[in-house]
Amino acid sequence: MRILVTGGAGFIGSHVVDALVARGHDVVVLDSLAPAVHPSRPDYLNEGAAYVEADLRDDDALAQALRGAEAVSHQAAMVGVTAGFADAPHYAVVNGVGTALLLRAAMREGVRRLVLASSMVVYGEGAYECPRDGAQRPEPRRTSDLEAGRFEPRCARCDSPLAPQAVREDAPLDPRSVYAATKVHQEHLAGIAMREGGPAVTALRYHNVYGPRMPRDTPYAGVASIWRSQIAAGGAARVFEDGAQLRDFVHVSDVARANVMALELDPAPPGAFNVGSGTPRPILELAATLSRALGARPPVVTAEHRASDVRHVFASSEKAARELGFRADVSFEDGVRELAAAPQRESVRSA
């Protein structure tokens, strides 16, 4: 099958390309190789794929990349926490307008299916339950509570601490950052295009992805990469809040495999699917495990906080297992050891 991978030079996209080439697919990559992400052409690019170096907003290049494609794996996006709301227009253009242009071109070319890289950030806070009052959707945490070290969401009725639960795909969407809002927008655009005769859409909601080729030295890097850079600079991993925030850390090779499964299933599986390990862990556990693997001193818990951060969010993996046949294979311990041993990406140079 001829498959276009947008953002195929990036962290997750390049692993998707590797997995598709290994399966014998005809792979075309469209990637802008933006200097803010790639100071130079990455040395890990798979020679079994063809490359078109261009932005999604370049109509001619997009048409060239899509020619003859039966499917698209849409990984291209501005990712991570913004430097502030001043970043919002750039996120909206790259993630929203770029996706709309891709969908329009895919409809013109008769592409049959599209796998969209979505994210767990679309949920905002995860699922919670009050022992007395049942299921709850907590409001955004108050700055005054965070500054006082009161990090846990509380029941709006009885003020008891809420117990976090695995979040399912049918949970309400409640984006709480600019990036999260653009991921919801991408899902909605893709769904509308599908209903108007466009490609069948499978949205894979990635949880906290880690592994080789993570970006470094940028505000948009994942927390594991940020900690690794802090350790490499001779410091300790700095953990926000109290480190008890629960996340689902999933290895990038498992995420790539989920993409391949979604692209190869016949018929295409429409809808949204969580892609995680199925095992929630405190972020302090990741920081401590990575520090040990690198022979560094223990992490420092700082009590720092950000208004856009959520407390707990981790995946229910039941739907992906049932409908995609996907379960994560890479153990947390093996994955973190691999990350610690892998070469770090080249630093992004200042402008």
Distance between CA atoms of residues 37 and 55, nearest Å: 13
Output the CA torsion sign for 34, 37, 42, 45: negative
Candidate list 179, 206, 210, 220, residue with the active-site label: 179
Contact present, 167 and 120 (Cβ < 8 Å)? yes
Do the beta carbons of residue 52 and residue 65 sit within 8 Å?
Answer: yes
CA 275 – CA 206 distance, rounded (Å): 5
**SS3 for 246?**
strand
- Backbone conformation region of residue 241, classed left if phi is above 0, alpha if psi is from -120 to 50, else beta: left
- Three-state secondary-structure class, residue 31: strand
CA–CA separation, 178 and 113 (whole Å): 27
Distance CA 129, CA 187 (A): 27
The CA–CA distances, whole Å, from 139 to 36, 166, 195 equal 34, 18, 32
Distance CA 313, CA 183 (A): 16
Which residue in this structure is represented by tokens 């309400």? Answer: 172
Beta bridge partners of 119: 206
Q: What is the DSSP string of 49-80?
A: SEEEE--TT-HHHHHHHHTT-SEEEE-----S
- Distance between CA atoms of 123 and 310, rounded to whole angstroms? 10
Q: Supply 90's token pair.
A: 């750039």
Spatial separation of the C-alpha atoms in residues 30 and 287, rounded to whole Å: 34
Q: Are 56 and 103 in contact (CB under 8 A)?
A: no
| Active-site residue, 128 included | no
Give me the residue label for tokens 């560094």: 296
Query: Catalytic amino acids?
Result: 179
